[in-house]
Amino acid sequence: MANERDFLDEIIEIQKDWKAVSNPLGNLATALTTEAEPEKPWDPSQFKFTARGNASSCSRCSSKDPKVCSACLDVCPVGAITIKDGTIKVASNCRKCGLCVSVCPTDAMTDGHNTPRKMYDRIVKAAASHETCYVTCTRALGRNPLDNEVVFPCVGCIPTAVWFSVLSDYRNVSVYLPLGICDRCRTKTGEGVYVDQIARAEELTTRSVGLECDEGQMSRKKKRSFERREFMESLVRSGQQALAISNPALASARAIAKRLEEHTRQINQLQKTLEQACGSTTNQHKRRLLTQKRSLELSTFQSHPRLAERVKVKAPVCDSSRCTMCGECAKACPTHTIELDDAGRFSVEPTYCVSCGACVAVCREKALKLKRVDPELLIVPDPDAERREEALKRQKADLERLKAEGRAKLSKAAKALEQLDQDDK
């Protein structure tokens, strides 16, 4: 059972108790002779940054149709965003909440400090090492975060794709928000956004995000597997002096970092696979754009293919009898997923399409409509995983062959012995 303790767990507890009693005066002598390093004052601004707009990725700008998308405008609590004449401007009264980045389907609104992949990494680091990871905002925490507390300008700045990718592998993530904290916040739209984002991720994964309202009830315990790794590392490295090597916490952190590096490698390989399959550029020489939100989703589908069945995927479908091959749809596509070839054929790569509707809006002939497509199209083959699976199959086949050969030889030897026995009689 997962909760059963063994001898190693008992040793770890004894070690903790021994550390507590081995120096009954604690660090009193050290405190009297040396100056303690002062804790850095709480500075919420280190978690908040002004978003930037990229008009070339904006479906509203590329289509020149304000009805296509107004997500960032609708969610901004202070009306700091202006989209006019093909440009995006963010005013100085921006609250740096990141909500516009969260809801933008094409990654036109960005924050380099809080990208979807960086958000994922920060949450996973805490979730992989502790029994509970708490996601919270600067207003709710009001102090420097501990190792299992992940602070964002607003919980609403975390997009559904991040929640989806985290929940697919981790069940120990909670949101820490004291009761009424959102009611007193000037980012009035934040609560509605994070409720919607989390709800969609929970629906897709059939897992739930916890909620903690009382700071006194927050757990600080590390995962048993993490503590065991720390302890074993301390034994293995006990004779070494270098801090970076002998510190068991750093050693265990390296194991988590390795897992995140593997996730990054998976995403990079995924993009290479997509580019090899459909080309990195269109026949109009425009580079296809894979949004960070979509890349997180695709990497999750690779690891958990069954989850793709729950996603409602829409992509433009062309009525060739109406299409005049004007090419406006391809020009308006912010991710450059649409192609019109020389033979007059319309095609779209669903993995790159974010269903923004810009192509539908600019089609004067009404030849395009967004329709449901097979969600399994989002499952991108992983060449490395396929090679490992094939190698495993070969190993199993070789093992079965050797077993069969061994049984045949034993059977032959048994018959020979039996024959000798009969001859002796």
Q: Could you report the per-residue pLDDT of 305-338, keeping only the tens digit for each? A: 999 988 888 999 999 899 999 999 999 999 999 9
Counting every residue, how long is the chain? 425
Please tell me the distance from the alpha carbon of residue 343 to that of residue 360, in angstroms, as a whole number: 21
Split at pLDDT 50, 70, 90, the class of 35 is: low
- Report whether pLDDT(352) > 80: yes
pLDDT tens column, 186-209: 999 999 999 999 999 999 999 999
Place 386 in a pLDDT band, splitting at 50, 70 and 90.
low
Residue 227 has pLDDT above 90, yes or no: no
Looking at per-residue confidence, does 422 or 54 come out higher? 54
The pLDDT > 70 percentage for the chain reads 80
pLDDT tier at 246, thresholds 50, 70, 90: very low
Task: Provide the token pair at 215.
Answer: 């700071």
Q: And the tokens for 386?
A: 């396929």
Please compute the mean of the pLDDT values over residues 232-253 and round it to a whole number.
53
pLDDT tens-place string over residues 132-172: 999 999 999 999 999 999 999 999 999 999 999 999 999 99
Q: What is the pLDDT of residue 244?
A: 44
Residue 242: what pLDDT? Answer: 46
In contact, 83 and 64? CB cutoff 8 Å: no
Give 136's strand partners.
Answer: 151
d(Cα 157, Cα 198) in Å, to the nearest integer? 11
Tokens of 168: 């697919």
Q: Give the per-residue pLDDT at 7.
A: 52
DSSP string, 173-194: EEEE--TTTTTT-S-TTHHHHH
pLDDT > 90 fraction of the chain, expressed in percent and rounded: 59
- pLDDT band for 258, please (50, 70, 90 cuts): confident
Distance between CA atoms of residues 217 and 222, nearest Å:
15
243: confidence class by pLDDT, cuts 50, 70, 90: very low
Among 122, 164, 148, residue whose Cα is nearest residue 294: 164
| The pLDDT of residue 403 | 77
Least confident stretch, 120-129, 333-342, 387-396: 387-396
What's the pLDDT tens digit per position in 276-296? 888 888 877 889 999 999 999
Whether the pLDDT of residue 34 is over 50: the answer is no
Q: What is the mean pLDDT of the chain?
A: 84
β-strands 109-110, 87-90: how paired? unpaired
